[in-house]
């Protein structure tokens, strides 16, 4: 049984219970019913302070949560049982979710003390990765989406079977059940899938006939009634959230997707409308800079793949003061803009804040005491908010006037608009302020929640209780006087209530109206009829007060819930403000510059003066800024040795563009940019290996994506494309792709390559040019300069990298001889101009054709230092080289062993780091 099947096996009513169904105790019968109704989840059944599971589900819960498996015995049998405490259920629920279970919480929905017979229970909440609302299970900095994908155009039969996949429309909708955010979009299959990857919902319901490939993220796929995807059913669901459902969506597929997403969200929340979903927002993916999952990953926006854990663009930018801002920053980074006006509006706002340190500091200060309003208001609507939540709402609203004040002097249209949309919500604030005490208890059923003066009846009841207590507190003195017993005491305990305590020696002086309550070793406890009456009065009043307080609290909460839309609008503005002030803080702290965009009718390229990589610069003592001047539609071929800075450079150009379109300042002295429609990346030959596809196949399908979809407004980064096959084929593919991108697509392209021969492509196309990174070599030591220069690279420094890695001196010396021989034979030592930096420094410069370690090894394998592609062109030279090598030296046994290990190494899939490890192993072998 696979893991999914194993999980599903414990869903539904336990078969052993069904066998004795009619004989089950009422409680277990209720359990079996609920399991049958919710046969897509583990039902956790509230029994007092615990959630219990039985039979197979109990075993799964015990195993997953590491709790004891016990038994419940009754006349019908012995049932395995496992329970988790309700008070700290979150950690256990998280374990169940992590293990891939879906959980249905069956809670007691009536007061156990008031129930006559069996307590009523119902499933109040389904807990799955996409529907969690519990704060402890949510990531504060990320939206948790549940997604639905639907395919348009009616059912499968009526769809034109000859139609191409991408002519079909797909709809995609996501709902964040914890905040009420609801987004819907539609596009052709490819674009919709790309958007799906970008939104990466934690859970997915998939409509009929949808054809989804393997996704790069791992959502829980939930089977959900196909009927929810019917257009009519979907329209019906959506109409509860939008008065004119067809005006919200633009296609049948979108309607089906958003209808199903909302229906599933409702189902998960106990089949009720989600009042806090106050807006369904439709967007077109083309309204944003399209970054597919590969680009998001390879640009390391949110996840770092290097050893520098945590070093992502997001982590560099994340100076947000509150969770609202953190989630908004994430959303902005995932979807940079393409609308020039909106970008400029954000940039104006950041600019204004950069100039106003005081406003920035004030905003940060106020925003840092802002609670997660979106999730708060959702809890209020779901009737899950407690008194502390309402106070947190008030604390947040108290900050609004101050935030408006801090914005008063800042001159930007966007900031002014945001300031205007900061409704101070005085009515809500005053209501909560008047109703709820300032430091309320966690429980809302045990009193102490509602403030004095809020409700006359409550004040009256409290007055009665208070008067009773005062009477009691004076009783001691009165009774001491009446009885003459100075040691007489009045006390209270939970079990017996109020009492008058008299020590044994004084018992003879006890008046007649004293009635015995309790006998202790040295004393007796009494009560009087009057004391009993007062006690009942106090207790009645407290009970009534508690009940009334609860009712009043629920009324206040419901009143606040009716203002959800207004509160959400404030949350929205606060989130934007926090991101804008964060971007300003980051810009000032890191010396970023405001980017400029080419005017509307200009079609300029990318021009960056002294650009830096925002993440790498943080990890370096000294980062070398580099310029970029990439005319629109040009292809820059970037060569240079391993470790010289090619990837960093290419990524930094892309990151500057992405940041600019987010509305952020950029790490550069200045930048003049086009508005890009997409950024494509194909980076690293051994990256992103998807199951079932060879590295090369994967590489080629990504290349295909790019060649098909890039436009003249796109930026394309290619790193070592073609390396996964033979040199001749790889070079040919790289060359053809370069020509196609230049001639047909017109996308601005940066292409890092070790194929030196590719650099010739610059000779016959004006828009193709060479850039290179170089290193300085002095006394056999190599230093990477990390600065970009015009023209192709001429030196590989592969031997120096080997030396840096600790390859034995004899091997390094031999390799150097081989390189020298190759260069002499090939007569290619004409590169002094190309490596201008090194030459200008008076350093020697050496050349090889191909900078990869693979090429170096190829040379060894062939018994000479020649490369395959070079051999093809100059057979005569190759012969000479072979002779020269043969004459040079007899290989020693150590070298033979090294050569053998190298022969066996699969260099196609070898990363530079692995290569260094390999070299270190070889060194070990020789030693």
Kindly list the residues in this chain that would bind ligand ATP in the complex (CB under 6 A). 616, 620, 623-624, 626, 640, 642-648, 786, 912
Q: Which is nearer to ligand ATP, 255 or 650 (CB)?
A: 650
User: How remote is the C-alpha of 784 from its chain's centroid?
Assistant: 36
The Cβ-side half-sphere exposure at 494, using a 13 Å CA radius, reads: 0
Please give the order of strands across the beta sheet that includes 103-108.
Answer: 70-74, 77-85, 50-54, 42-47, 103-108, 121-127
Q: How far is the CB of 13 from ligand ATP (least distance, A)?
A: 58
CA pair distance 593, 717, nearest whole angstrom: 23
Which residue lies nearer to ligand ATP by CB, 237 or 647? 647
**What is 269-338 written as a DSSP string?**
TTS---TT---EEE--GGGB-EE-HHHHHHTTSS---SSSTT-SHHHHH---SSHHHHHHHHHHHHS-B-
Measured from the CB atom, the residue of 326 and 682 that comes closer to ligand ATP is: 682
Point out which residues pair with 492 in neighbouring strands.
498
**C-beta closer to ligand ATP: residue 604 or 912:** 912
Pairing of β 42-47 and β 50-54: antiparallel
What six digits make up the tokens of 761? 């492509």
644 labelled binding-site residue: yes
Structure tokens at 301: 């926006």
The reply, when asked if residue 641 is annotated as ligand binding, is yes
Tokens describing residue 751: 């292409």
Structure tokens at 261: 């997403």
Cβ–Cβ < 8 Å for 77, 21: no
Separation of alpha carbons 878 and 352, rounded Å = 65
Tell me the closest approach of the beta carbon of residue 855 to ligand ATP, in angstroms: 12
Nearer to ligand ATP, 220 or 905 (CB): 905
User: 187: which strand partners?
Assistant: 170
The DSSP bridge partners found for residue 773 are: 788
* Axis-axis angle for helices 340-354, 646-662 (nearest 10): 90
Q: Does 923 carry a binding-site annotation? A: no
Minimum distance of ligand ATP from residue 849's CB (angstroms): 15
Give whichever of 133 and 616 is closer to ligand ATP, judged by the CB atom.
616
Closest contact distance (angstroms) between CB of 866 and ligand ATP is 22
Retrieve residue 38's tokens.
């919710």
Residue 787 CA: distances (Å) to CA of 590, 643, 747: 20, 12, 24
CB closer to ligand ATP, 531 vs 668: 668
Query: Closest approach of Cβ 650 to ligand ATP, in Å?
Result: 8
Q: Of 410 and 626, which has the nearer Cβ to ligand ATP? A: 626
Does 686 show up as a binding residue in the annotation? no
Cβ within 8 Å of residue 702, ≥6 positions away? 294, 682, 688
Give the nearest distance from C-beta 671 to ligand ATP in angstroms.
16
627 known member of a binding site: no
Q: How far apart are CA 660 and CA 666, in angstroms?
A: 6
Taking the C-alpha atoms of residue 294 and residue 701, their distance in angstroms, rounded to an integer, is 12
Range 531-537, long-range pairs (CB < 8 A, 24+ positions): 531/472, 531/475, 531/498, 531/500, 532/497, 532/498, 534/468, 534/471, 534/472, 534/498, 535/468, 535/472, 535/497, 535/498, 537/464, 537/465, 537/468
Question: Given the complex with ligand ATP, which of 391 and 607 has the nearer CB atom?
Answer: 607
Element (H, E) at 43: strand 42-47
Q: Do residues 435 and 508 make contact, with C-beta atoms less than 8 angstroms apart? A: no
CA distances from 873 to 230, 870, 896 (A): 64, 5, 29
Query: Least CB distance from residue 851 to ligand ATP, whole Å?
Result: 7
State which residue, 320 or 626, has the beta carbon closest to ligand ATP: 626
Output 610 or 895, the one with its CB closest to ligand ATP. 610
Please state, in angstroms and rounded to a whole number, the distance separating the CA atoms of residues 319 and 309: 18
Q: Work out whether strand 748-752 and strand 635-639 pair parallel, antiparallel, or are unpaired.
A: parallel
Q: Please, what is the minimum distance in Å from the beta carbon of residue 624 to ligand ATP?
A: 4
- Whole-number Å distance between alpha carbons of 650 and 628: 9
285 marked as part of a ligand binding site: no
Please enumerate in sequence order all residues whose Cβ is within 8 A of that of 290, keeping only pairs 6 or more positions apart, or say none. Answer: 191, 194, 677, 678, 679
User: CB 645 → ligand ATP: shortest distance, Å?
Assistant: 3
Nearer to ligand ATP, 56 or 640 (CB): 640
Q: Which is nearer to ligand ATP, 304 or 828 (CB)?
A: 304
The angle formed by the CA atoms of residues 167, 169 and 175, to the nearest 5 degrees, is 155
State in angstroms the smallest separation of the CB of 871 from ligand ATP.
Answer: 24
Instruction: Considering the complex, state which of residue 457 and residue 591 has its C-beta at the smaller distance from ligand ATP.
Output: 591
Element at 138 (helix H, strand E):
none
**DSSP per residue, 191-233:** HHHHHHHHH--SEEEE-TT------SS-PEEE---GGGGSHHH
Does residue 733 contact residue 721 with C-beta atoms inside 8 Å? yes
Nearer to ligand ATP among residue 85 and residue 310 (C-beta): 310
The pair of three-digit structure tokens given for residue 432, joined into one six-digit string: 């909560």
Shortest Å distance, C-beta 301 to ligand ATP: 17
Q: Does the annotation place 646 within a ligand binding site?
A: yes
In angstroms, give the least distance from the CB of 789 to ligand ATP.
Answer: 12
Known binding residues: 640-647
User: Which residues participate in the annotated binding site for ATP?
Assistant: 640-647
């Amino acid at each position: 049984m696979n893991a999914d099947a194993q999980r599903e096996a414990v869903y539904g009513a336990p078969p052993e219970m069904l066998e004795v169904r009619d004989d089950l105790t009422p409680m277990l019968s209720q359990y079996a019913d609920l399991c049958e109704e919710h046969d897509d989840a583990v039902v956790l059944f509230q029994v007092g302070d615990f959630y219990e599971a039985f039979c197979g589900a109990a075993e799964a819960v015990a195993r997953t949560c590491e709790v004891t498996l016990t038994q419940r015995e009754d006349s019908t049998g012995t049932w395995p049982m496992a329970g988790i405490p309700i008070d700290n259920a979150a950690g256990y629920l998280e374990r169940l979710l992590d293990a891939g279970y879906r959980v249905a919480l069956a809670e007691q929905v009536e007061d156990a003390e008031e129930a006559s017979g069996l307590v009523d229970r119902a499933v109040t909440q389904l807990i799955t990765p996409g529907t969690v609302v519990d704060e402890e299970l949510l990531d504060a900095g990320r939206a948790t989406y549940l997604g639905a994908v639907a395919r348009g155009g009616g059912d499968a039969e009526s769809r034109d079977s000859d139609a191409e996949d991408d002519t079909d429309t797909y709809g995609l909708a996501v709902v964040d059940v914890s905040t009420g955010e609801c987004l819907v979009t539609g596009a052709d299959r490819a674009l919709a899938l790309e958007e799906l990857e970008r939104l990466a919902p934690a859970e997915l319901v998939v409509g009929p006939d949808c054809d989804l490939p393997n996704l790069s993220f791992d959502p829980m796929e939930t089977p959900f009634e196909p009927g929810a995807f019917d257009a009519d059913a979907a329209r019906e669901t959506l109409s509860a959230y939008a008065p004119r459902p067809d005006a919200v969506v633009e296609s049948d597929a979108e309607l089906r997707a958003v209808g199903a997403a909302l229906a599933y969200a409702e189902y998960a929340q106990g089949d009720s409308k989600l009042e806090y979903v106050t807006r369904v927002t439709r967007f077109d993916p083309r309204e944003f800079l399209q970054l597919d999952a590969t680009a998001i990953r390879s640009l390391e926006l949110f996840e770092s793949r290097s050893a520098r854990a945590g070093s992502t663009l997001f982590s560099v930018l994340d100076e947000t003061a509150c969770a609202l801002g953190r989630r908004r920053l994430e959303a902005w980074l995932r979807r940079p803009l393409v609308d020039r006006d909106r970008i400029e509006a954000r940039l104006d706002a950041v600019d204004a804040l950069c100039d106003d340190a005081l406003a920035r500091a004030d905003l940060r200060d106020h925003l840092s005491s802002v609670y997660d309003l979106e999730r708060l208001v959702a809890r209020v609507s779901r009737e899950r908010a407690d008194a502390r939540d309402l106070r947190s709402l008030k604390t947040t609203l108290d900050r609004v006037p101050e935030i408006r004040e801090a914005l008063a002097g800042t001159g930007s249209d966007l900031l002014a608009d945001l300031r205007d949309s900061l409704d101070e919500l005085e009515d809500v604030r005053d209501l909560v302020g008047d109703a709820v005490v300032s430091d309320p208890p966690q429980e809302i059923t045990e009193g102490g929640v509602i403030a004095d003066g809020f409700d006359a009846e409550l004040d009256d009841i409290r007055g009665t209780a208070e008067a009773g207590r005062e009477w009691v507190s004076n009783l001691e003195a009165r009774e001491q006087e009446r009885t003459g017993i100075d040691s007489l005491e009045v006390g209270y305990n939970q079990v017996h209530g109020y009492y008058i305590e008299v020590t044994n020696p004084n018992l003879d002086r006890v008046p007649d109206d004293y009635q015995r309550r309790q006998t202790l070793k040295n004393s007796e406890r009494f009560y009087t009829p009057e004391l009993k009456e007062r006690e009942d009065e106090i207790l009645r009043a407290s009970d009534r007060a508690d009940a009334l307080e609860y009712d009043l609290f629920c009324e206040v909460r419901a009143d606040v819930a009716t203002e959800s839309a207004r509160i959400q609008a404030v949350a929205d503005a606060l989130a934007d403000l926090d991101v804008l002030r964060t971007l300003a803080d980051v810009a000032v702290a890191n010396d970023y510059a405001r980017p400029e965009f080419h005017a509307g009718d200009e079609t300029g390229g990318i021009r960056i003066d002294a650009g830096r990589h925002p993440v790498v610069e943080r990890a370096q003592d000294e980062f070398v800024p580099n310029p970029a001047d990439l005319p629109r539609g040009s292809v820059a071929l970037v060569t240079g040795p391993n470790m010289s800075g090619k990837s960093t450079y290419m990524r930094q150009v892309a990151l500057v563009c992405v940041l600019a379109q987010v509305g952020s300042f950029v790490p550069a002295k200045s930048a003049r940019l086009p508005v890009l429609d997409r950024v494509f990346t194909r980076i690293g030959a051994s990256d992103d290996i998807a199951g079932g596809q060879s590295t090369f196949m994967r590489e080629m399908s990504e290349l295909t994506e790019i060649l098909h979809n890039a436009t003249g407004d796109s930026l394309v980064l290619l790193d070592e494309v073609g390396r996964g096959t033979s040199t001749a084929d790889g070079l040919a593919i790289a060359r053809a792709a370069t020509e196609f991108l230049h001639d047909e697509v017109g996308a601005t392209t940066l292409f890092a390559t070790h194929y030196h021969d590719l650099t010739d492509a610059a000779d016959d196309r004006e828009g193709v040019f060479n850039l290179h990174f170089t290193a300085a070599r002095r006394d056999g030591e190599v230093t990477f300069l990390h600065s970009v220069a015009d023209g192709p690279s001429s030196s590989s420094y592969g031997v120096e990298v080997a030396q840096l890695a600790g390859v034995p001196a004899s091997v390094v010396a031999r390799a150097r001889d081989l390189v020298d021989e190759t260069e002499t034979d090939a007569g290619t030592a004409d590169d002094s101009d190309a490596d201008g930096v090194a030459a200008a420094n008076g350093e020697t410069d050496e050349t090889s054709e191909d900078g990869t370690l693979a090429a170096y090894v190829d040379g060894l394998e062939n018994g000479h230092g020649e490369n395959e592609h070079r051999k093809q062109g100059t057979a005569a030279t190759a012969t000479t080289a072979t002779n020269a090598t043969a004459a040079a030296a007899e290989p020693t046994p150590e070298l033979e062993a090294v050569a053998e290990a190298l022969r066996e190494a699969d260099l196609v899939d070898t990363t530079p780091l692995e290569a260094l490890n390999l070299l270190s192993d070889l060194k070990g072998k020789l030693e």
